[in-house]
Amino acid sequence: MLCAVAFAFACPAARADEVVPENCEVSSSLVYSEEALPFVAGRLERDKVLTILVIGSGSTAGSGVSEPRFAYPEQLRSKLLSVFPSAVVTVRKDAKRGATAKDMLRTLESDLNTVKPSLVIWQTGTADALRSVPLNEFGMSLDRGLRLLKRKMVDVILMDMQFSPMTDAFIHSSPYRGYMRWAAKRNEVILFRRYDIMEYWWNHEVFDLGSTDAEVQLSNADNIHECIAGLLAQMIARGVRQPQ
Amino acid sequence: MPESTILPSAQDRDLRVDFFRGFALWFIYLDHIPSNVMSWVTMRNFGFADATEVFVFISGYSAALAYGRVMQRQGFGFALANVWHRVWQLYVAHLVLFMFYTAQVAYVAARFRNPMYVDEINIAQMIEAPHLALIHALLLRFRPVNMDVLPLYIVLLLSFPLALPWLRRRPLGVFTASLALYGAARLFDWNLPTYPAGDGWYFNPFAWQLLFVIGALCAAAPERVFRWVPWNRWLAWAAALYLVFSLLIVLSWQVPLIDSVVPDWLSDVLYPIDKTNLDSLRLAHFLALAYLVAHAVRPDARFLQSTLVRPLIECGRQSLYVFCVGIFLSFATHFVLVETSGSTFMQIAVSVGGIAILSALAVTLNWYKRMDLRSRKLPKQEASVQ
């Protein structure tokens, strides 16, 4: 029945579950979302086109992976191609190390005009938590960005910071994550809970995030970025199928 | 329910204070270990308020008890000296903790160079001018993560003598002034400065002083407090309902099913729940809890005497040491978890181990205190013969 309804998308339901590598599956409550991706779905149905803009900081820029093509935005493209084989998938990114939400907001509008995406994946919170940016200021930047995206009729997936057992003791990330969760709920956008997901992997010993061995760190980075890409693709597929 | 059974007699040490303070200290320790599965059992997962509220309230309560007595017996001047002597001790403890923190940051920065965390590793470089950071730490302006409770306590206790003489004479006046300060702080965004320039103190003293003062009033003028907030069945039911509501909302953050039931208008009203400025939701939750607990647990409750509960009471008695060692242990525990294994079993094991160490420390300190007191009471000749 789902296949019949979604035949224009060539049945992504089954494929979506295949793009997530087996070892990095997480409990369903961590990737559950009720929000839909109407603009993505509409654009896919009409033009068979999926254009994504990813904005973020160091991790989005691909720090730590062995080659640039292993960063999660690049891997996302190949994952989405297998989920939506008949669509033209483009993934562009604008990522700078140490960029706060306010920094990203500055270039958001011009990026939107250049790329004209149907989906923006906004990864933020890392630099803000690190620098203890006032929570109100962070919140305002988030709200302004999300309102702008809504006006421009673009779907959004919000992504929070990475989990690191080493620096966890030194960075107050929970107020910022809490705010992002609330902003996502209020603006009805999907929140990709990267922190919780990586913490799940750490607790279940899927990846040794605290390793100080350079080779282990490198292979971990490549695998983690692939997992993130897979989970994102799965989320996008679900959001597209979600009734509005 | 006659009021007299709920208040301790003037001479006995109210074991409830030690019990709940011990509770708060254990929870603070567990909560300070990042990504610890044991933190699931702590208060913050069952309602809006957490161990910090308990700690601040009880600090106010016991400060009023202790220094009120000193003021009665030896006058305000001596009480003032007493308070500020204590503040000095707390300040020194804060500096020691800061030293351990700096050591840990430096160690982690040197050892953990994972390029995947290129943004996060900057934490060490955040301390760009270490000599400046040190000066600001001395001024209580540079307070790294997890070192926020002690500076709050320091500031509250430092200004406590302002209220001390009036607690019994003008309790309503003190409460009104405190409430006004709380309201003004939230309205006008008053807070103390931090370094690097940020949002202000993580626990805004202008806001949190309200809870401290309420605790102090409960100790200093209990009859008045009971007149304003008597035991009333409807009030108790309202409190209980609010606790259930709070539990459901907190659960909705973890359980998507419950989250989908929460209506949007409710989310808009509730969030964000401001821990820094003692959000009224948290205050109300704590007060509801305190109201029910104060009446449920009498000072002479039998379970307070049992051996099972003794570690908590011992920890509550040595709160400063237990708090500081607890913070230090949370650093160490976190380190062990990262270096060996982050598995759930290890988390539980080191958490329980840490609690055991804290309890052992508290028992030892209390024993030493008793022995010390006893040796001082020996007549001088006996002492010199030995």
For A179, the closest chain B residue by CA position comes to B272
Judge whether residue B1 has pLDDT over 70: no
Judge whether residue B124 has pLDDT over 70: no
Longest dimension (CA), chain A: 51
B residues 91-130 lying closer than 8 A (beta carbon) to A: 104-105, 108, 111-123, 126
Residue B144 pLDDT class (50, 70, 90 cuts):
low
pLDDT at B123: 64
Share of chain B above pLDDT 70, in %: 86
Rounded to a whole number, what is the distance in Å from the CA of A85 to chain B's nearest CA? Answer: 31
Judge whether residue A226 has pLDDT over 90: yes
pLDDT in tens, B336-384: 777 777 677 888 888 899 999 999 999 999 999 889 988 888 765 555 5
Least confident of A21-35, A107-121, B211-225, B254-268: B254-268
Among B119, B145, B255, the residue with its CB nearest the CB of A126 is: B119
pLDDT at A156: 95
- A-B contacts at Cβ under 8 angstroms: 144
Judge whether residue B29 has pLDDT over 60: yes
Q: How far is CA B153 from CA A14, B44, B139, B201, in A?
A: 57, 20, 14, 12
ipTM above 0.90, yes or no: no
**Paired tokens of A160:** 């929070």
B residues 279-308 lying closer than 8 A (beta carbon) to A: none
* Distance (Å, whole) CA B275 – CA B46: 15
3 state SS of A27: coil
Higher pLDDT, B231 or A92: A92
Pairing relationship of beta strands A88-95 and A49-56 according to DSSP bridges: parallel
pTM of the model: 0.81
List residues bridging with A51 in a β-sheet.
Answer: A90
For A188, the closest chain B residue by CA position comes to B264
Among A133, A162, A204, the residue with its CB nearest the CB of B117 is: A162
Is A186 close to B255, i.e. CB distance below 8 A? no
3-state helix, strand, coil in chain B (%, to 5): 75, 0, 25
Is B199 close to A59, i.e. CB distance below 8 A? no
pLDDT in tens, A136-188: 788 889 999 999 999 999 999 999 999 988 777 777 788 889 889 888 988 88
According to DSSP, residue A20 is labeled S
Which of B117, B195, B331, B348 to mutate against chain A (most A CBs within 10 Å)? B117
> Residues of A with CB below 8 A from B104's CB?
169
Contact A129, A173 (CB under 8 A): yes
pLDDT at B338: 74
Judge whether residue B3 has pLDDT over 50: no
B11, burial (CB in 10 Å: exposed 0-12, middle 13-18, buried 19+): exposed
Which residue type occupies B249?
Answer: I
Among B199, B255, B334, the residue with its CB nearest the CB of A135 is: B199
Share of chain A above pLDDT 90, in %: 49
Judge whether residue B155 has pLDDT over 60: yes
